[in-house]
Amino acid sequence: MRIKLTSVYVNDQEKALRFYTEAMGFTKKADFSNGPFRWLTVVSPEDPDGTELQLALNDNPAAKAYQEARFAQEQPAVMFFTEDVKGDYERIKSRGAEFTMPPTEVTGSTIAILNDTCGNLIQITQLARW
């Protein structure tokens, strides 16, 4: 068994697609519609057949409340792992992303947090080498 898909609620799928592809550097994997429903996913270009991130529209009250509560509590909606958090911070920042926390050492890792412009905070994590 393996994890193939996880979702993040977004308040604008088109804006989210631009952010996750242009700022973060992910690749669009799936994009199709059925009436008002749009299935939209991105993947890491380093693992195009790996876990997909669905950019799910927060068009139901429960999804919207959940997304807004996490943001208000400054809890990241998604965590990505990297081997070079400082390099990724500089690359993503140069593409116009707004970081709420620059690379910061915490127990066991260095993290940076940014706003995805679609209602979420995103954490980038580099695990410490013991």
pTM of the model: 0.93
Which residues are paired to 127 by β-bridges? 109
Residues with Cβ within 8 Å of 80's Cβ and at least 6 positions away in sequence, in order, are 24, 122, 123, 124, 125
pLDDT per residue over 61-96, tens digit each? 999 999 999 999 999 999 999 999 999 999 999 999
> Which CATH number applies to 5-127: 3.50.50.60, 3.40.30.10, 3.40.50.10490, 3.10.180.10?
3.10.180.10
The predicted structure's pLDDT at residue 118: 96
Q: What is the mean pLDDT of the chain?
A: 96
Q: Which of 75, 96, 88 is nearest to 126 (CA)?
A: 88
